[in-house]
Structure 1
Amino acid sequence: MPPLKIAVVVGQFPTISETFIVNQIRFLKSQGHQVHIYCFKKIKIGIHPSDDIHFKDVKLLEWQHFMPKNKLKRFFKIFSILIKSINFSIRLDLIKRFNLFKYKKDAFNGYVFFRRYFELYFEINNYDVVHVHFANHAVRLLRQLEIFQKRIIVSFHGFDAHNYDHQFYNGLLKLKTICYTTNTAYTKDKIIDLGFPDHLITILPVGLDTNFFKPTQNLKKSERFNILFVGRLVVLKSPLLAIKIIEQLVNQNITNLLLTIVGDGEEFQRCEDYIVSHELEPYITLKGSQNQLEIVELMNSSDMFLLPGIKDDNNKAEAQGLVIQEAQAMQLPVIISDVGGMKDGVLDGKTGFVLKAHDIDAFVKCILYLIEHPKERIAMGSAGRKFAVKNYDISVLGQQLLDLYR
């Protein structure tokens, strides 16, 4: 199969909480495909030390960004675009934008030309695939997607299924040539409720690099039993419930433990206040946001992973929770709740435990089991690593994505 030319569209780039997109792009590049990244907002942070090399050429998706400010450079770019446009009808379409009677000075200065060029951009540049991450961003590109004649993939990731209604997606629903991917059956049901047809939706979880998320052997662990929570500190991930679970263990005189909470968000202050007011500082620490290298280090020194997510007041829940697969890849048994799509990514009783949301007693019981049965805990961690490598490694999921592209 010849290499593909792929346009990947994201909201902002890079984003620490969306490393799965970086993993996907890195895989596609490793397979010899030409990948160009487009975003609506560009920020200067790194995901991995090598990212400045791999992702330094990221273009902003604004028509003004494609139009040189210098008038002479603008003229030469217009000439270059017209030469590059081998499709006669597209070239004629662009030439019509210089109609002074219709567009007046906006025709003369090239504004109309570049606005139209922006609409035709993916078609003119002869991409084989346009892949838009988060469906709400696809809505911003309706005209471009309507014109593009080749393969279009739009990936729902959870936020875009929860926070927008059928009316918002009305224009996207009219385009019948788009294929959709989503991370779990839970999210698929959400987007079917929005009106998207079942037969156009493929469940394709987001993946991770299991060579990066790989435990360091023979690492000396603390004498304390270390429990790790990683995620945005928002209601649906329920960091406060994690704190209350530890509080109950402490009340049962299980004090040789430490819960480390990694993340930031609207619940941070509430969590901090609860820890202080209930004198739980010796047993719980709030680390704030950490990069992936720091998270791997924390996972290396932990004994288990905890994510007792719930449904929030708007009935939203975790869509997949990639960090659950990252923890399993690091050979940590995981204890999670059964809401949303989290349960799809754990083998209950083999790589961890899937429990009823809000059932603090059940969470306490399972943590005690792991504390008291170190051999079983190690066996669960080993099974979790195998499960993550087989089902969630980016090379496995990346190949499935390539099958969709083709």
Structure 2
Amino acid sequence: MRILFVLSEFPSYSETFIANQINDLIDHGNEVTIFSSGIGKTIDSSLFNRNDLYSRLVPAHQSVGLVSRLRRRFLKLFLGNRAYQNKDLLTMSESIDVVHCHFGDNALLFHEVYLKYGWFNKSKKICTFHGYDILPSSVAILTDTYKPLFDSFDGFTYNTPYMKGIIDCFPIQPRKMHALPVGFDADFLKNYLRRNPNTYAHGDCLHLIYCGRLTYFKGCLMLPDIAEKLIAANVQNFMIHIVGAGDQEHELRGKIDAQGLARHFTLYGALNQEKVFELMSSAHLFILPGLEEPKTARAETQGLVIQEAQFLKLPVLVSDAGGAKYGLMDGETGYVLPKGDVVAFVEKIKWFLDNPDEIYSFSEKSHIFARENYNSAVLGKRLLAIYTGDL
């Protein structure tokens, strides 16, 4: 099967799940071409070097220089969306079996530039929504904006029941809807499994880790408050490791300093996956206290890092905002806690401290749960069934 992936940027650290998906399809004998609007910085990782993914990239525009940009503007003025058509892509359009667009805005752009002119008319079209492309507050507007997709695409995938609840507001035929979480490459991730069981003994320093963008709906600003209440509860020997960057980084650092908590925090900024997983493999608990944005109602839709943490044998603590709650077994591989409830997070952390054997018990179940449900090799079979119409 010949498959075209339509992306906004490739490669991208924040979208390694797409590389996992592509690698699995290639491993199963499919031919994949990557069509990307933007080219990111080269990532030296086995996830991208495997199957030589960079050689499969067809950028939307070969040049991004000033002259090229001015030329495209001039052509668009007189030729409309046809000015953005890529000749290499047009050449292969008749031989593509499946066009898979990640994110609704990419799918819409691809429709406006290619599909509305009859290109790829023999291909099956699939669109995967992820989060920012279907904000709950914008459903009414997006229903009109995305109408061409509802009419011309053959299938839509969503990663959690939370996202399905949003998509159900759109006039999409139920037969076109397919549940498909994003997954990880278990063969890659197993290289970072801790050599010893995830155990904790009274008196040890408890290591918690947060991995994600430092932005409102991830709940990163709750972390200093959680630390402060742990100290007030006479818990002193702990460290919170924060991996990520974002618009709230400055505020977060200021809050940590203002509350005198610097000795309990290490902020690493953005790291590559290898370093992230190395840090995870030496931690005891994973924490992501997500929230819901007041204006947009945006929340975490899945949070693959939650499943990656479980595969690496970390019990996880997440909030009930959005779809994160669907990616664990509450009470067995972690806990789902009320969003914004600092006390609830503190109480669960203390519970693990008071019951150290549970860290080991939860971690073993976490690994099995993630391995059986979020491995790309498992999810890839479902994706192929969506492509072929067997689902």
1:56/1:315 Cα in 2 relative to 1: closer, same or farther (>3 Å)? same
Residues 205 and 237, structure 2, Cα contact 8 Å, conserved in 1: yes
Paired residue for 2:194, among 202, 216, 238? 216
1:112/1:206 Cα in 2 relative to 1: closer, same or farther (>3 Å)? closer
Q: Which residue of 1 aligns with 2:233?
A: 252
Q: Which residue of 1 aligns with 2:71?
A: none
| DSSP-derived class of the 1:55 partner | helix
Distance (Å, rounded) in 2 between the aligned partners of 1:112 and 1:292: 37
Q: Could you tell me which amino acid in structure 2 is paired with residue 56 of structure 1?
A: Y
How do 1:3-18 and structure 2 match up within 5 A?
A: 4-18=1-15
Q: Could you tell me which amino acid in structure 2 is paired with residue 140 of structure 1?
A: L
Q: Which residue of 2 aligns with 1:196?
A: 172
| DSSP-derived class of the 1:229 partner | strand
| Unmatched segments (≥5 aa) in structure 1 | 70-105
Q: Could you tell me which amino acid in structure 2 is paired with residue 193 of structure 1?
A: C
Q: Which residue of 1 aligns with 2:59?
A: 60
1:243/1:41 Cα in 2 relative to 1: closer, same or farther (>3 Å)? same
Q: Could you tell me which amino acid in structure 1 is paired with residue 90 of structure 2?
A: Y
Relative contact order: is structure 1 or structure 2 higher (C-alpha 8 Å, sep ≥ 6)?
A: 2
1:112/1:236 Cα in 2 relative to 1: closer, same or farther (>3 Å)? closer
Paired residue for 1:129, among 89, 93, 98? 98
What's the CA shift for 1:117?
7.0
Q: Could you tell me which amino acid in structure 2 is paired with residue 131 of structure 1?
A: H
Q: TM-score, normalised by structure 2?
A: 0.86
Q: Which residue of 2 aligns with 1:168?
A: 145
1:375/1:124 Cα in 2 relative to 1: closer, same or farther (>3 Å)? same
1:62/1:211 Cα in 2 relative to 1: closer, same or farther (>3 Å)? same
1:113/1:241 Cα in 2 relative to 1: closer, same or farther (>3 Å)? closer
Paired residue for 1:228, among 198, 206, 209? 209
1:62/1:196 Cα in 2 relative to 1: closer, same or farther (>3 Å)? farther
1:149/1:369 Cα in 2 relative to 1: closer, same or farther (>3 Å)? same
| Unmatched segments (≥5 aa) in structure 2 | 69-74
Q: Who wins on radius of gyration, i.e. which is larger?
A: 1
Residues 219 and 300, structure 1, Cα contact 8 Å, conserved in 2: no
Residues 160 and 179, structure 2, Cα contact 8 Å, conserved in 1: yes
Q: Which residue of 2 aligns with 1:34?
A: 31
What's the CA shift for 1:170?
2.5
Equivalenced residue count is 360
Residues 219 and 301, structure 1, Cα contact 8 Å, conserved in 2: no
Determine whether 1:290 maps to 2:271. yes
What's the CA shift for 1:55?
1.9
Q: Which residue of 1 aligns with 2:132?
A: 159
Q: Could you tell me which amino acid in structure 1 is paired with residue 160 of structure 2?
A: T
| DSSP-derived class of the 2:241 partner | strand
What's the CA shift for 1:386?
0.4
What's the CA shift for 1:376?
1.2
What's the CA shift for 1:167?
2.5
Residues 104 and 129, structure 2, Cα contact 8 Å, conserved in 1: yes
Residues 352 and 358, structure 2, Cα contact 8 Å, conserved in 1: yes
Identity value in percent:
33
Tell me the C-alpha RMSD between the 2 structures: 2.6
Distance (Å, rounded) in 2 between the aligned partners of 1:310 and 1:122: 46
Determine whether 1:319 maps to 2:289. no
Q: Which residue of 2 aligns with 1:145?
A: 115
| DSSP-derived class of the 1:141 partner | helix
Distance (Å, rounded) in 2 between the aligned partners of 1:116 and 1:207: 32
Paired residue for 1:277, among 258, 261, 265? 258
